[in-house]
């Protein structure tokens, strides 16, 4: 089944008794598999585990994963009284030493580094992982479903393009046959005919292009990713079309080859989105 490399998947879940977590996955095209994670503070230890889950379902594309968490209730405020006492002793010493009459304000004290902070969560990332893993898998299922749906639409488009290419190739074959018959009928010497055929014969190129077109559609329903392989086949198509254009002995053939090259280029553009 052909898959697109673009898609989106998200899921939100309550994690009792801790709170709520949401996860978003966004996929875009890329030559290889690249996973970019945006995790909340304290969850970096889960990075490798999340990547392994994604790697099991996605083989190619740039995957951006964003995890957001919201704990039940609000965090408490922590005042570092020991550190505050040290600050006060030092500040009072400075007042006495330099005879500073101005008092020390509360606002200045709470803004000193390390004095005021929020209590950190007591729930460890590892204890949350079993529930978070289910969240990752459900969001991945949504992402894969969208990639598959878009891939099916791309498959229909590529099949239509391939059919058009086959029709143009058939026209090239007919035009080539007529052009050769017309040119040879005007030549009287065998040497002249042989030289003309050597320079202008595109039979092999047409046969190879026909093979590539058949091979292209045969890859559509393979289980594994086919994007790179299809792009390689399309490159070979382009190569044969270029050679046919260079060897063309007729204006009609040249015009048809231009159509071939244009259609192949459109195909290659769409293949950049196939996994």
* pLDDT at 24 (0 to 100): 97
- Whole-model pTM: value is 0.73
- pLDDT for the residue numbered 51: 97
- DSSP codes of every residue in 109-125: HHTSTTSEEEPPPSS-H
Per-residue pLDDT averaged across 203-217, rounded? 95
Please compute the mean of the pLDDT values over residues 116-135 and round it to a whole number.
77
pLDDT band at residue 67, thresholds of 50, 70 and 90?
very high
Q: Is it the case that residue 256 has pLDDT exceeding 80? A: yes
Give yes or no for a contact between 268 and 239, defined as CB atoms under 8 angstroms apart. Answer: no
What local confidence, expressed as pLDDT, does residue 96 receive? 86
pLDDT given at position 76: 63
Rounded CA-CA distance 48/166 in Å is 47
Element (H, E) at 39: none
Strand order, beta sheet including 19-28: 7-15, 19-28, 61-71, 33-38
Q: Distance (Å, rounded) from C-alpha 231 to C-alpha 91?
A: 71
The arithmetic mean of pLDDT across residues 213-227, rounded, is 90
Average pLDDT over residues 139-148: 96
- Is the pLDDT score of 93 beyond 60? yes
Block residue for tokens 């204890």: 127
């Amino acid at each position: 089944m052909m898959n697109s490399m673009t898609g989106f998947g998200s899921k939100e879940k309550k994690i009792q008794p801790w709170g709520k977590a949401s996860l978003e996955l966004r996929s875009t095209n890329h030559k290889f598999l690249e996973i970019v994670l945006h995790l909340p503070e304290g969850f970096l230890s889960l990075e490798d585990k999340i990547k392994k889950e994604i790697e099991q379902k996605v083989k190619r594309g740039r995957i951006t994963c964003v995890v957001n968490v919201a704990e039940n209730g609000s965090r408490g405020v922590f005042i570092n009284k020991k550190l505050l006492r040290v600050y006060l002793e030092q500040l009072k010493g400075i007042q006495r030493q330099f005879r500073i009459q101005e008092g020390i304000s509360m606002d200045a004290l709470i803004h000193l580094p390390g004095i005021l902070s929020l209590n950190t969560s007591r729930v460890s990332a590892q204890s949350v992982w079993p529930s978070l893993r289910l969240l990752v898998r459900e969001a991945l299922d949504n992402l894969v479903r969208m990639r598959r749906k878009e891939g099916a639409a791309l498959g229909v488009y590529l099949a239509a393009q391939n059919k058009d290419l086959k029709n143009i190739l058939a026209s090239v074959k007919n035009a080539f046959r007529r052009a050769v018959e017309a040119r040879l009928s005007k030549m009287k010497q065998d040497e002249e005919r042989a030289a003309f055929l050597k320079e202008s014969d595109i039979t092999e190129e047409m046969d190879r292009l026909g093979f590539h077109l058949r091979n292209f559609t045969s890859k559509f329903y393979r289980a594994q990713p086919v994007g790179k392989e299809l792009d390689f086949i399309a490159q070979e198509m382009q190569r044969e079309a270029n050679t046919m254009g260079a060897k063309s002995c007729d204006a009609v053939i040249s015009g048809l080859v231009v159509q071939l090259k244009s259609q192949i280029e459109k195909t290659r553009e769409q293949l950049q989105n196939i996994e």
